[in-house]
Structure 1
Amino acid sequence: MGGPTLSWVVSDESSPLSLDEFQAVLQRLGRSVVTASQVARVLECPQADASERLAALADAGRIASADVSSDPVVWYPTDLDAVASKEHRILFPERREVVVEHPRQFTRAQLAQFAHLVDSSGDAYIYRIREEDVWQAPYDHLDDLLRTMRDVLPERSPHLDEWVERQWSRAHKFTLVTHEDGYTVLRAASDDLMGNVALQRLDQGEHVRAPISDSEVWVASERVGEIKRILYDAGYPVQDDRELESGAPLDIDVNLDLREYQRSWVERFETANSGVFVGPPGSGKTVAAMGAMAAVGGETLILVPSRDLAGQWHDELLMNTSLTPDQVGEYHGGEKNIRPVTVATYQTAGMDRHRSLFDDREWGLIVYDEVHHVPSNVFRRSADLQAKHRLGLSATPIREDDREADIFTLIGPPIGTDWAALFDAGFVAEPEVEIRYVPWADDYARNEYVSTHGHERRQAAATNPAKVEAVRTLLEAHAGSKLLVFADYLDQGEALSAALDIPFVSGEMRHSRRQVLFDEFRSDRRDALIISRVGDEGIDLPNAEVAIVASGLGGSRRQGAQRAGRTMRPVGSALMYVLATRGTSEEDFARQQLRHLAGKGIRVTERDAPQVEPVVDREAEDDDTEDASELDDGEDDAGTRDAED
């Protein structure tokens, strides 16, 4: 299924592309410069065909292209040559900030490798290079990091280069190794570092067992996670080069051909023995994880945040590997089977009465799906299994409490591929993202917002009744497409469901009924669902084409990326609309929520929703005394939201 047929652009994908047709594509996308993947999406043809037709039009001298380093090739009319050079970059080396006006996708994708997006107001993007950005940069060698920086920064800065080199050096001052007798050793680059940094902060007896030399100490293997956190907080990330346990042997064959970048991820994981696969939704992190399981060849514990995701993993393993049903078990509130490969929820595995079952088994690999949960107090205990191979999976290893550094400290270094490269290769559809500003439904709704404060005010903006008509307008505009509508507030989800005659899936719904609706959506027997936070993580709905966010979790960047990710698959369109009530804090929340996507090179546009007169039954609303916030807390209890966020 797909969106409206674009026969007005082109009817035969094998025919040459005319300049008029190319201009029509630009107009449809609202861009002056486009990639082949974007053209393919509009023309509804394979990317290879789009590339050939663009090249033919370029050979005729009607359009031009530009290719910078690893940047996707971009195409534009020859009379708009100046458009390709509109980007303007300014470096402030003393503040370690980069300001970019009209940034290209390449620039944003490269900056995301070593800098943090601070603000993306209008056409200007502000990036700051922090210590942790250098420590976590996905490079094996300093020269590779400096080469990327010099590729994208407008000028060389010896001051900045020296600072980056110092930070890189700090991240390689302490190393954990395995002694030939089997115990764990912490090794410092110098005697001074061991005496003045490590031994000043680590507890003798609890962390440190005994000195070996002036620069080496025997440390407690069961306290390795704490040791890493303590030294990280002191400004010294620890390199983990221990010989990790392989666990009870288990032969696993993967029945899928891994893509080149997935094979690269697995190879880098094998070298490091631990790490976090970081890639856009739809890039196949689960498949790559199965490749890692086969590489380790040991019994595996897979930790997930929900029962829905546990069942999904169970089915994927049986479908795509040589594992048999008696080798794969689930352990959570609905089922409790420990097998050579066990999929468990974080909550259950962390409970004292179940913990020994997991601690006593000889796991060779622990897989942490949606690994951004690990820093929270609820899930942190699972990261204490430091002696095992550890693999995290996440499209969004970010947290609003700024504790994302714990992810890489406790689990391992980031392993991933530039999002731009995956978009350009056609492995993942680059989403078109739009913030749509909705006016108040009427004076009653506006006055309710003005007269409240705090959470109630945010809720009033989020549940603005005019959003019902805004959603209806988008549903009509994308009739025939597969759509997901997200609503964080239960009463809003129920109101949308009643008005639009679409089921609302939430944590309040029975698990079995949720599964029926998800299966109907996957099998194309249902075109649309309204969904609460239960759809944010892990639920595989691979044929969704349009995501409409009626309300969200404040300015959560992770949630914004997760919801856009519902549409980011190799084929089809990928559209996301975020509705925000005009003149309220939702405007800032929407921009903040999409900042992670913008930092990955995805274009975010803004526009006003058309004015529509909604039909509002105020008498019925006044009779509704149900407390939405209490119901929302019920969703949290169901495990669909990280309480630490």
Structure 2
Amino acid sequence: MTDESGSNPTTGRTTDTDGNEQTTDQDAVSSADTFSIAEFHEASQHDGRPVLTAAAVARALEIPHEEATERLEVLAERGDLERLSVSTDPVVWYPTELEDLTDRERVLVFPKRREIVVDQPEQFTRAQLAQFAHLADGNGEGGYRYVVRPEDVWQAPHDSFEGLERTMRQALGQRSDSLETWVESQWDRAHQFRLVTHEDGYTVLEAKRPEVMGNVARQKLDEEHVHAPISETEDWVREGAEAAIKRILYEAGYPVQDQRNLESGEDLEIDLQVRLRDYQRTWVDRFAEAGEGVFVGPPGSGKTVAAMGAMVHVGGDTLVLVPSRDLARQWADAVVEYTSLEAHQVGQYHGGRKEVRPVTIATYQIAGMDRHRSLFDDREWGLVVFDECQHVPSDVYRRSTHLQSRHRLGLSASPIREDDRQTEIFTLVGPPIGTDWQALFDAGFVAEPELEIRYVPWGDDEQRNAYVSAEGRERYRIAAENRGKIDDVRYLLSAHPDAKALVFVDFLEQGRELSAALEVPFLSGETPHHERRRLLEEFRRDERDLLIISRVGDEGIDLPTADLAIVASGLGGSRRQGTQRAGRTMRPAGGALVYVLATRGTREEDFARRQLQHLGRKGLTVREQTVGHDGEE
């Protein structure tokens, strides 16, 4: 019904002479009243600036300019916005809180992007955010960007959504209905499927609802994975297909809760002889709640010791899988040093030794070989630890994941894979558990190294000309082996005469040239194990202050006292390699330095920038420096 003027008193709208409906001033005011500071921040994110004109707000929100102005004025009257007249535009608007950002926490939520931007966060806020969000960027100056991903919600350490909801509101200091709705939907997904053990001993896949079983599991799985349905919500699982089922449903967006009655192994009395740091205790507690997980933290954060805390919690026979026999030996020594176990209770199983004990450290390669597999299958393990677990998705390593113990634990500084198969790490081992790197830097547990990319000129015209005429991988090799880097390595070593230094190379010929030029040993895969062990021990005992190391040093050896790393070549490989090499200086002692050498004007420049961006997003400061022909800046 309309009155004589054409106005509809119920809707607040009018019709013109053509019958078209128009919005009244009353409706516009109502829209302005519902406009929130969060929507202003969303418009700010859309425009890429914290200071906006009414025209920018109108574009971002797709509303008329007049309505945008009215909404902004309402927020200004509430005290949420300030206005400022400038010469280029009648008025610009900005949040009142921008006037005082130097020393207080500020949290901005962008629900559509599921992003949270925090300035000057308190430690409590960061700890709360870590329970349901991923730290995507940290600028090292108090600004952090978190992203809430499905996997972050799936592994949130809460027994109910209400508990997670409380944590979110504590961290954000506000309610965000749309973000909470999305998080609840992901929480529901994470509780749709579970693997359980039937009373007759076989494994059953259970679904929460018949429609989820029919529309998801039975569409994705086939006779390789299940024998037959048991009921509308239960399928009989084929023996050995559990890991594949977990991976397939995870990729479909439905993580599976593994609640099978797996063997716990023989009881093992074990105590930890060192006190865990608070964040390590949190890791262990999170692992204890889930029964599985991946400890993610920078080198030097004590993942190995935290894993021993998990061993104490489990209290059963433990198998530790590592990439190399060097790391197996280090693990065996550490278990004896940091726990109550004696040497005869700790065995190593690799090319050099064949011992199966209550705690056994084996290499991935040998655990995956058919002729050795039965030795590990026949023993019931309470815990399997996958060290450097970023290897697990590789075909040669994943054969070891058939060892499905009651508890599984992974360790990794950087669970990133260039083939984008890192989600398999979390399905085959467990969800990520960690502390953001910047928190460890701030607390002094791990030293934040200074990173500098140095653009080095060619050492001679012969190599420069060879680079111009070469193609593909050969061009990268020539740039990597640029003999001009030898002079820059000399310059950096002379600039830090008291430093214990590591020089990393990717190519054997370059390593040999540096070794001859500097008259220091070159440790590579060709170095006999006994010689490698001797050199590393001398380095640890401060009897040697310089080593040149090939890819063998990226993983599998521990160099805790290095305070200078020079990456002469190798960052064209992967983001993980950049993390490992830079991470060799991340220890509690401060003052660590990392120099990355890249041949000026070649693809090495782009490689170095791209690989170190990953570390920059974790809060490390990355500088760039162009080097002259004499080695000086």
TM-score by length of 1: 0.74
Greater shift in the superposed pair: 571-580 or 407-416: 571-580
- Aligned counterparts, 1:243-262, within 5 A: 243-262=261-280
1:282 maps to 2:303: no
Instruction: Look up the equivalent residue of 2:212 and give its one-letter code.
Output: L
**Structure 2 counterpart of 1:236:** 254
1:361 maps to 2:379: yes
Closer, same or farther: CA 132–439 of 1 in aligned 2, 3 Å: farther
Closer, same or farther: CA 296–126 of 1 in aligned 2, 3 Å: closer
**Structure 2 counterpart of 1:187:** 206
Instruction: Look up the equivalent residue of 1:237 and give its one-letter code.
Output: P
Greater shift in the superposed pair: 192-201 or 105-114: 105-114
Work out which of the residue numbers 507, 526, 541 in structure 2 matches 1:489: 507
How far apart are residue 177 of structure 1 and its match?
2.7
**Structure 1 counterpart of 2:494:** 476
Question: How far, CA to CA, are the matches of 2:570 and 2:179 in structure 1?
Answer: 38
Closer, same or farther: CA 262–111 of 1 in aligned 2, 3 Å: closer
**Structure 2 counterpart of 1:510:** 528
**Structure 1 counterpart of 2:339:** 321
How far apart are residue 378 of structure 1 and its match?
0.7
How far apart are residue 435 of structure 1 and its match?
1.5
Question: How far, CA to CA, are the matches of 1:450 and 1:566 in structure 2?
Answer: 34
8 A Cα contact 2:294 2:410, kept in partner: yes
How far apart are residue 548 of structure 1 and its match?
1.0
**Structure 2 counterpart of 1:171:** 190
8 A Cα contact 1:90 1:154, kept in partner: no
- Partner of 2:386: helix, strand, or coil? strand
Question: How far, CA to CA, are the matches of 2:143 and 2:443 in structure 1?
Answer: 27
Any unmatched runs of 5+ in structure 2?
A: 1-98
How far apart are residue 491 of structure 1 and its match?
0.7
Work out which of the residue numbers 336, 344, 368 in structure 2 matches 1:350: 368
1:310 maps to 2:328: yes
1:574 maps to 2:592: yes
Query: What do the CA deviations read for 1:75-107 (whole angstroms, capped 9, x no partner)?
Result: xxxxxx99948999998765667899x999999
1:199 maps to 2:218: yes
8 A Cα contact 2:136 2:618, kept in partner: no
Instruction: Look up the equivalent residue of 2:340 and give its one-letter code.
Output: S
Closer, same or farther: CA 152–488 of 1 in aligned 2, 3 Å: farther
How far apart are residue 383 of structure 1 and its match?
0.9
Closer, same or farther: CA 431–299 of 1 in aligned 2, 3 Å: same
1:371 maps to 2:385: no
**Structure 2 counterpart of 1:596:** 614
Work out which of the residue numbers 516, 519, 522 in structure 1 matches 2:537: 519
Work out which of the residue numbers 340, 365, 373 in structure 1 matches 2:358: 340
Greater shift in the superposed pair: 498-507 or 402-411: 498-507
**Structure 2 counterpart of 1:642:** none
- Partner of 1:378: helix, strand, or coil? helix
Question: How far, CA to CA, are the matches of 2:306 and 2:401 in structure 1?
Answer: 21
- Partner of 2:594: helix, strand, or coil? strand
How far apart are residue 224 of structure 1 and its match?
0.7
How far apart are residue 438 of structure 1 and its match?
1.5
Superposition RMSD in Å: 3.4
- Aligned counterparts, 1:81-96, within 5 A: 84=102
Question: How far, CA to CA, are the matches of 2:589 and 2:289 in structure 1?
Answer: 33
Question: How far, CA to CA, are the matches of 1:604 and 1:161 in structure 2?
Answer: 36
1:543 maps to 2:566: no
Question: How far, CA to CA, are the matches of 2:491 and 2:104 in structure 1?
Answer: 35
Instruction: Look up the equivalent residue of 2:325 and give its one-letter code.
Output: R
8 A Cα contact 1:185 1:216, kept in partner: yes
Closer, same or farther: CA 167–413 of 1 in aligned 2, 3 Å: same
8 A Cα contact 1:132 1:405, kept in partner: no
8 A Cα contact 1:138 1:416, kept in partner: no
Greater shift in the superposed pair: 392-401 or 164-173: 164-173
Work out which of the residue numbers 283, 288, 313 in structure 2 matches 1:270: 288
- Aligned counterparts, 1:414-563, within 5 A: 414-563=432-581
8 A Cα contact 1:462 1:581, kept in partner: yes
Q: Radius of gyration: which is bigger?
A: 2
Question: How far, CA to CA, are the matches of 1:429 and 1:346 in structure 2?
Answer: 31
How far apart are residue 151 of structure 1 and its match?
8.8
Number of equivalences: 530
Instruction: Look up the equivalent residue of 1:374 and give its one-letter code.
Output: V
- Partner of 1:594: helix, strand, or coil? helix
Question: How far, CA to CA, are the matches of 1:540 and 1:483 in structure 2?
Answer: 14
- Partner of 2:395: helix, strand, or coil? coil
Closer, same or farther: CA 130–297 of 1 in aligned 2, 3 Å: closer
Greater shift in the superposed pair: 397-406 or 251-260: 251-260
How far apart are residue 496 of structure 1 and its match?
1.1
Question: How far, CA to CA, are the matches of 1:147 and 1:584 in structure 2?
Answer: 52
- Aligned counterparts, 1:73-152, within 5 A: 84=102, 114-115=133-134, 117=136, 131-132=150-151, 134-135=153-154
Instruction: Look up the equivalent residue of 1:174 and give its one-letter code.
Output: F
How far apart are residue 591 of structure 1 and its match?
2.1
8 A Cα contact 1:438 1:582, kept in partner: yes
**Structure 2 counterpart of 1:407:** 425
8 A Cα contact 1:104 1:601, kept in partner: no
Higher relative contact order (CA 8 A, sep 6+): 1
- Partner of 1:512: helix, strand, or coil? helix
Question: How far, CA to CA, are the matches of 1:592 and 1:196 in structure 2?
Answer: 41
8 A Cα contact 1:138 1:413, kept in partner: no
Work out which of the residue numbers 200, 209, 214 in structure 1 matches 2:232: 214
How far apart are residue 358 of structure 1 and its match?
0.8
Instruction: Look up the equivalent residue of 2:374 and give its one-letter code.
Output: S
- Partner of 2:275: helix, strand, or coil? coil
Question: How far, CA to CA, are the matches of 1:334 and 1:348 in structure 2?
Answer: 11
Question: How far, CA to CA, are the matches of 1:119 and 1:229 in structure 2?
Answer: 31
8 A Cα contact 1:117 1:595, kept in partner: no
Question: How far, CA to CA, are the matches of 1:154 and 1:464 in structure 2?
Answer: 54
Question: How far, CA to CA, are the matches of 2:569 and 2:174 in structure 1?
Answer: 42
Closer, same or farther: CA 552–156 of 1 in aligned 2, 3 Å: farther
Any unmatched runs of 5+ in structure 1?
A: 1-80, 615-645
Instruction: Look up the equivalent residue of 2:567 and give its one-letter code.
Output: V
Question: How far, CA to CA, are the matches of 1:607 and 1:143 in structure 2?
Answer: 51
How far apart are residue 279 of structure 1 and its match?
1.4
Question: How far, CA to CA, are the matches of 2:160 and 2:613 in structure 1?
Answer: 28
- Partner of 1:263: helix, strand, or coil? helix
How far apart are residue 320 of structure 1 and its match?
2.0
Instruction: Look up the equivalent residue of 1:190 and give its one-letter code.
Output: R
Q: Percent identity?
A: 64
Instruction: Look up the equivalent residue of 2:547 and give its one-letter code.
Output: L
Question: How far, CA to CA, are the matches of 2:379 and 2:239 in structure 1?
Answer: 17
**Structure 2 counterpart of 1:13:** none
How far apart are residue 127 of structure 1 and its match?
8.0
